[in-house]
Structure 1
Amino acid sequence: MKWRLLLEDRNKFFWILQTCGWFGYALVQYIGSLTQEMRDIYVVIILLGAYAGFLLTIPLRYLYRRIWDWSPWLLGTVVFFCSFMAAAIWAVIDNATQWEIYKFGYRPHNPLFYFNHSIAKFYIMLSWSGLYFVIKYYQMLQDEKQKALTAVSMAHQSQLKMLRYQLNPHFLFNTLNAISTLILVQENKAANKMMAKLSDFLRFSLDNEPIKRIPLSRELEVMMLYLDIEKVRFEERLQVTTSVSESASRGLVPSMLLQPIIENSIKYAIARLEEGGLIEIRAKVDGEDLLIEVADNGPVPFSEPKTTYNGRTGVGLSNTRQRLKALYGKRYSFNLSANQPNGCLVEIRIPWQVV
């Protein structure tokens, strides 16, 4: 368990590898010196050389972290150049210590000598850089794998909670009661249409894979089925407008992403307004992100902390935030804020991706 926690702490893991790696380098150098007749003081030279390599690679780590997202050609060029510069500095330090302590080698006066002496050091530095990128890339793959596993788990939980709501007796009672009323007044065509919408909505929620991402246009179609069902209860009190750009409609979103948000708007806004209320759904592409907004004109102005709005801290919103985090890591935002003049505004920002 302690080793697992240690591996998850990237900073500690780096320093352990860094220390062990350069200690191993010093050990290999010492074993190699045993085949030759060397004075005892040569051990100090070996340790100082390993320590110099240890110190010189620390700045490389922070540099590589900053340029990680650069293009492969530019990244490779910078790594190559920095590895050689570090090797050249290391060669100077190594030669100076050998002359001053071991009284062996050449005084620093010939640049060509340093260039030749740097080549061997360069291979070591380049190997260190390669290992750094290989390990970091492996860690990224593990992160993506863990995110995918977490996303599957969270999506399944989201689906279960969504189904629990959909099969909620109040939801089914209100819907079926509305259909029954339509049948009693001989509005059979309307009742059949309502039943078809309910059937399509439940079928989608049952058949659709929770981890699957679908175009926003398809997500809105399903949400309109849900809203049409709710309109049976609220009739003209529930108004819905959409403003979605063509490029945004093609963006991929987690299935049933908007249902808990719209549910909250109906519960905390529409249901509390006698004259009815409005839900606005807007979406556009903003740079490399897909920005989705769901706004309502609830009866109370926004005055609570950012994470809540008139008690809107239920399972739905919390689960949506956790699901986005599992799917996108740090590349998302989910914010609640005030809508003008009244109501709540939910903003979702995720990477814009298309099929």
Structure 2
Amino acid sequence: MGRIGILTDDKHPLRAAIVLAVGFNLFTLVVFTVSGWARGPESLHESLVLGLPMMLVDGFVGFQLYFVLRRTERLQPVPRWGLVTIAVVAVALVQALWDTQLRIWADTLTMDLRQSYIRAATLNTYNSGMLAGLFAFQTAYMALQRNQSLLDEARQREREAQMLALRFQLNPHFLFNTLNAISSLVVLRRTDEAESMIDRLSSFLRGSLAADPDRMVSVEDEFEMLDNYLDIESVRFGERLVTAIHLPHELARAQVPPFLLQPLVENAVKYAVAPSRSQVRVEIAARERDGLLELEVSDSGSDAEGVGSGTGVGLANVRERLRLSFGSEGRIQVHKDMDGFRVTLTMPLNLPPVPAERPLTIAA
């Protein structure tokens, strides 16, 4: 922690106040010594003799203002600062009494006792007021830091809740479609296909429940989950569904939000494969472009009239998750033509370092 961090350490406010008080009194001691040097040898000798004991006692007495400020912080401004002002004057009077007595003991009193006391009281009132102001500023700054930390934490919790809500929004949607497909297979007495679909659904849900909605996963894991999903759908559509997944080896470890592409693939199946009587190709691809990661889901279904308005949780869900995860750096592009439908997601390319191999230990 740097010097500024020590002065604004909200976890140890007393320590931060002590550091501030020591710094303030050391600065005052330096100014007192330089002033004595500028006035001549006698004044410098006086400053060297009196400076340290004066600042030790004055610093200890002045530090009591910190406790006054802390114990009055719940009061309204007028009574609080009224009490602080009284405390500043009281501290200055005690400091002036010590400073004057110290000059008497050192035989350096150069003016009338009453005048010396008034002069010392005036200077100490100014110093004590400055120190109280610094304590107040330090406390206010630490409170601002604390509130900012709480605000950041609240925003993070809100983001986590939004991400979780978006994730939970997907599961019922997917489950409804899959269970409806299983029900159709059972009605058609295609029991072998229904059993196969149930097995694949179990594997898919096992991976889904294990995933943390707020933790990134590798593109490889994301594509593997989509491959499992398409395996489930292939039971419904047979040869009508043809899939292709393109993942360059160097992008396999890139980090993305989990289940980011599922609603896009689900839309491709629902709006391109399901209504088509011919074969439809669904492709999933990853590539790097200009230092960014692009993920793309496309289909060759020419009958995609319902996609623009019927995506429901699909595009809206993906767009919101991109915003929550990457802010303005996450973008979504939708392209629709006679050859089908294509959605491209762009986001920062986050490649974690390759873990170092553990050294082989051979037992003696």
**TM-score interval for Structure 1 and Structure 2 normalised by the shorter chain:** 0.5 to 0.7
Partner SS state of residue 339, structure 2: coil
| Number of residue pairs matched by the alignment | 209
Cα 1:207/1:191, change in 2 over 3 Å = same
**CA deviation digits over 1:168-216, x for unaligned, max 9?**
2x421313554797875xx5xx766543321111122222111111001
Query: Over residues 133-189 of structure 1, what are the superposed CA-to-partner deviations in whole Å (9 max), with x where a residue is unaligned?
Result: xxxx99998997566434312221122111211332x421313554797875xx5xx
Query: Which of 175, 200, 209 is matched with 2:203 structurally?
Result: 200
Pairs within 5 Å for 1:143-292: 148-168=156-176, 170-175=177-182, 177-178=184-185, 184=191, 187=192, 193-292=196-295
Give the direction of change, closer, same or farther, for the CA distance of 1:331–1:182 in structure 2 (3 Å limit): same
Equivalent residue, structure 1, for 2:318 = 320
Pair 144,200 (structure 1): closer, same or farther in 2 beyond 3 Å:
farther
Q: Which runs of 5+ in 2 are unaligned?
A: 1-144, 353-364
Instruction: State how 1:62-73 maps to structure 2 within 5 Å.
Output: none
Q: Are 1:179 and 1:194, in contact at CA under 8 Å, matched by a contact in 2?
A: no
| Separation of aligned partners in 2, 1:290 and 1:139 | 36
1:209-268 CA distance string (max 9 Å, x none): 111110011111111111111111100001111112112221111111111001111111
Question: RMSD value over aligned CA atoms?
Answer: 3.1
How far is the alpha carbon of 1:276 from its aligned partner? Answer: 2.4
Please give the alpha-carbon distance, in whole angstroms, between the structure 2 residues aligned to 1:138 and 1:251.
35
For 2:156 and 2:195, the matched residues in 1 are separated by 40
TM-score relative to the length of structure 2? 0.51
Q: Secondary structure at the match of 2:329?
A: coil
Structure 1, unmatched stretches of 5+, are 1-136, 303-307
Identity, in percent, stands at 28
Q: 8 Å contact 2:284–2:298 — kept in the other structure?
A: yes
Say if 1:269 and 1:277, in contact at 8 Å, map to a contact too. Answer: yes
Aligned to 1:344: 341
Quickly say closer, same or farther: Cα 1:197–1:298, change in 2 above 3 A. Answer: same
Give secondary structure in 1 for the equivalent of 2:235.
helix
Amino acid of the structure 1 residue aligned with 2:345: I
CA contact (8 A) 2:299 2:342 kept: yes
Instruction: Specify the structure having the higher radius of gyration (Cα).
Output: 2
Contact 1:147 1:327 in 2 (8 A): no
CA distance in structure 2 between the aligned counterparts of 1:237 and 1:138, rounded to whole angstroms:
59
* Cα deviation 1:96-145 (Å, max 9, x = unaligned): xxxxxxxxxxxxxxxxxxxxxxxxxxxxxxxxxxxxxxxxx999989975
Cα distance in 2 for partners of 1:163, 1:140 equals 35
Judge conservation of contact 1:239–1:277 (CA < 8 Å) in 2. Answer: yes
User: Structure 1 residues 280, 143: CA separation in 2 closer, same or farther (over 3 Å shift)?
Assistant: farther
Question: How many angstroms does 1:280 deviate by?
Answer: 1.0
1:278–1:350 CA distance, 2 compared to 1 (3 A): same
Letter in 2 for 1:319: N
SS in 2 for 1:269: helix
Q: 1:336 to 1:312 in 2, by over 3 A?
A: farther
* Separation (CA, whole Å) in 2 of partners of 1:165 and 1:223: 15
Q: How does 1:9-28 map to 2 (within 5 A)?
A: none
Question: In 1, Cα distance between the equivalents of 2:234 and 2:344?
Answer: 24
Secondary structure in structure 2 of the residue aligned to 1:275: coil
TM-score, scaled relative to structure 1? 0.52
